[in-house]
């Protein structure tokens, strides 16, 4: 093996630095066809070692055209995210340390730092004292864990959520063999509180910031109804929860203090790369009972700290290191400034839509998401989306509302400026009229 860690490391670092610099010039959505990269990759692994320089060369020649650039300042799809510089470096350090925190003593550092940064974020979001937080890979897994805990605690098998809840709720319920009941929304796209039966419900899932519309379910009322029948209340604030670091955004946290569990993803809107999903529970003892086994060959006297006892996987990598680096290198004030700017930019874009005769908002503007459409047919909007994405200038996605094809623009990358949002508006108008 011919890798020189310092020399090849410097080359890798320079590759990453240049990539981050080149982002404004790269097409946002990968402009390749399915199978195009595969056709260029060797059919088999090499028998003899190659150099790390060969790997970097192929990153330029083969991988770069097949990247969708989530780090681009003009990435406005799904929810836009950022892998910030301190987090990138922290991921390298985490890989060098290769901590595998299966039990406390296998990594006191990873275990205790994870508990601490989860508590730092709990405080920043204004969540209750005493909640137990840890990190899972994704909100899919965090919600899976919540459903497992809810079934364990209640002995019941049904999950109730809004028709606009994230697809992972449906998938999680299916994987667990639980029954899913979807509830309609009101005119503000909020999960309805009345008119359906909660009997047999293990868990009610309330969403703060739905994926399609960033709508906010009435958490307080749902929590009260759920608890009245002995069900668990899980809050999915994977995207919008980060906004609670800003006091003025806490309107959407109303009632969250009544939740039995809550998921917020720092890899969505807290400048940390995938994967970093924070899950808290107000009922840590019952939660832990749903997951702990502690076989003999893993038994130590430090079990109180072992985070594998709080979630599905046994193996746990050192994910807290990147979150710790971000919280320290930005500071709470630095993070607030970035999120406030994203929210300002989304409102600015929404204002342009409202002022225009050719466009319309189709859902209340919330957080850093704008849901809108060109006045005209569904086909026209779909073709418009295809054209703007094919231009490489911006990348947006769509959703459906009452059967209508509608467009989404999500601001959320730390490199995005007002110029980028204005460019998005220009590209949309240009492609709509040419």
The footprint of a second copy on residues 113-142 (CB under 8 A) is 113, 115-117, 119-121, 123-124, 137-141
- Cα angle at 318 between 316 and 322, to 5 degrees? 140
Least Å from the CB of residue 341 to a second copy: 13
390 binds a second copy (CB under 8 A): no
**CA distances (Å), origin 232, targets 148, 151, 256:** 11, 9, 13
Stretch that binds a second copy, among 38-46, 221-229, 279-287, 417-425 (CB under 8 A): 38-46
Distance CA 202, CA 230 (A): 8
- Cα angle at 345 between 341 and 347, to 5 degrees? 115
DSSP string, 378-403: HHHHHHHHHHHHHTSS-B-EEEEETT
If binding means CB under 8 A, how many residues of this protein chain bind a second copy?
140
Q: Which of 25, 129, 177, 285 binds a second copy (CB under 8 A)?
A: 177
Q: Which residues contact 252 (CB under 8 A, 6 or more apart)?
A: 208, 209, 216, 237, 240, 243, 244, 366, 367
32 binds a second copy (CB under 8 A): yes
Least Å from the CB of residue 225 to a second copy: 25
> Residue 196 or residue 305: which is nearer to a second copy going by CB?
305
The H or E element that residue 173 is part of is helix 167-176
Q: Which two tokens stand for residue 228?
A: 């009245």
93 binds a second copy (CB under 8 A): yes
> Residue 147 or residue 206: which is nearer to a second copy going by CB?
147
* Contact positions with a second copy (CB under 8 A) in 316-345: 316-317, 322, 324-325, 327-334
Least Å from the CB of residue 69 to a second copy: 8
Bond into 275 cis (ω within 30): yes
Residue 83, CB half-sphere, CA atoms under 13 Å: how many? 18
Binding flags for a second copy, 240-279, as an x/- string (CB under 8 A): ---------------------------x-----xxx-x--
Distance CA 37, CA 403 (A): 35
Least Å from the CB of residue 405 to a second copy: 10
Binding flags for a second copy, 56-85, as an x/- string (CB under 8 A): ---x---x--xxx-xx-----xx--xxxxx
Q: Which of 199, 228, 304, 434 binds a second copy (CB under 8 A)?
A: 304
Q: Which two tokens stand for residue 27?
A: 């097409």
Q: Are strands 404-410 and 369-374 parallel, antiparallel or unpaired?
A: antiparallel
Stretch that binds a second copy, among 24-32, 182-190, 219-227, 360-368 (CB under 8 A): 24-32
Binding flags for a second copy, 204-223, as an x/- string (CB under 8 A): -------xx-----------
């Amino acid at each position: 093996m011919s890798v020189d860690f310092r020399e090849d490391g410097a080359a890798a670092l320079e590759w990453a630095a240049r990539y981050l610099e080149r982002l404004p010039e790269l097409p946002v959505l990968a402009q390749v066809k399915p199978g195009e990269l595969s056709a260029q990759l060797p059919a088999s692994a090499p028998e003899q070692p190659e150099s790390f320089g060969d790997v970097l060369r192929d990153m330029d020649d083969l991988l770069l055209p097949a990247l969708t650039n989530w780090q681009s300042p003009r990435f406005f799809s799904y929810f836009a995210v950022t892998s910030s510089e301190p987090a990138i470096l922290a991921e390298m350090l985490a890989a060098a340390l290769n901590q595998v925190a299966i039990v406390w003593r296998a990594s006191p550092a990873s275990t205790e730092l994870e508990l601490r940064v989860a508590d730092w974020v709990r405080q920043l979001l204004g969540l209750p004292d005493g909640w137990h937080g840890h990190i899972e890979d994704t909100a899919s897994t965090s919600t899976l864990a919540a459903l497992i805990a809810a079934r364990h605690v209640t002995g019941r098998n049904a999950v109730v959520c809004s028709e606009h809840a994230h697809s992972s709720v449906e998938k999680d319920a299916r994987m667990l063999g639980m029954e899913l009941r979807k509830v309609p929304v009101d005119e503000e796209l909020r999960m309805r509180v009345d008119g359906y039966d909660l009997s047999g419900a293990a868990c009610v899932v309330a969403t703060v910031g739905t994926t399609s519309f960033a709508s906010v379910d009435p958490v307080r009322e749902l929590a009260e109804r759920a608890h009245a029948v002995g069900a668990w209340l899980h809050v999915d604030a994977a995207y919008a929860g980060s906004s609670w670091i800003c006091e003025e955004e806490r309107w959407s946290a109303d009632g969250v203090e009544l939740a039995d569990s809550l998921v917020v993803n720092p890899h969505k809107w807290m400048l940390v790369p995938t994967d970093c999903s924070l899950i808290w529970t107000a009922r840590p003892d019952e939660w832990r009972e749903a997951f702990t086994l502690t076989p003999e060959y893993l038994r130590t006297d430090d079990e109180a700290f072992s985070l594998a006892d709080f979630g599905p996987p046994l193996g746990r990598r050192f994910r807290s290191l990147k979150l710790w680096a971000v919280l320290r290198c930005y500071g709470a004030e630095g993070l607030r400034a970035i999120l406030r700017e994203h929210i300002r930019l989304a409102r600015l874009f929404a204002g342009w839509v409202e002022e225009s005769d050719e466009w319309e908002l189709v859902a209340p503007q919330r957080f850093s998401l704008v849901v809108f459409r060109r006045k005209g047919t569904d086909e026209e909007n779909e073709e418009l989306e295809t054209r703007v994405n094919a231009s490489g200038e911006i990348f947006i996605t769509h959703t459906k509302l009452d059967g209508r094809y509608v467009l989404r623009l999500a601001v959320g990358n730390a490199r995005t400026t007002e110029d980028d949002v204005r460019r998005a508006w220009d590209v949309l108008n240009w492609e709509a009229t040419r």
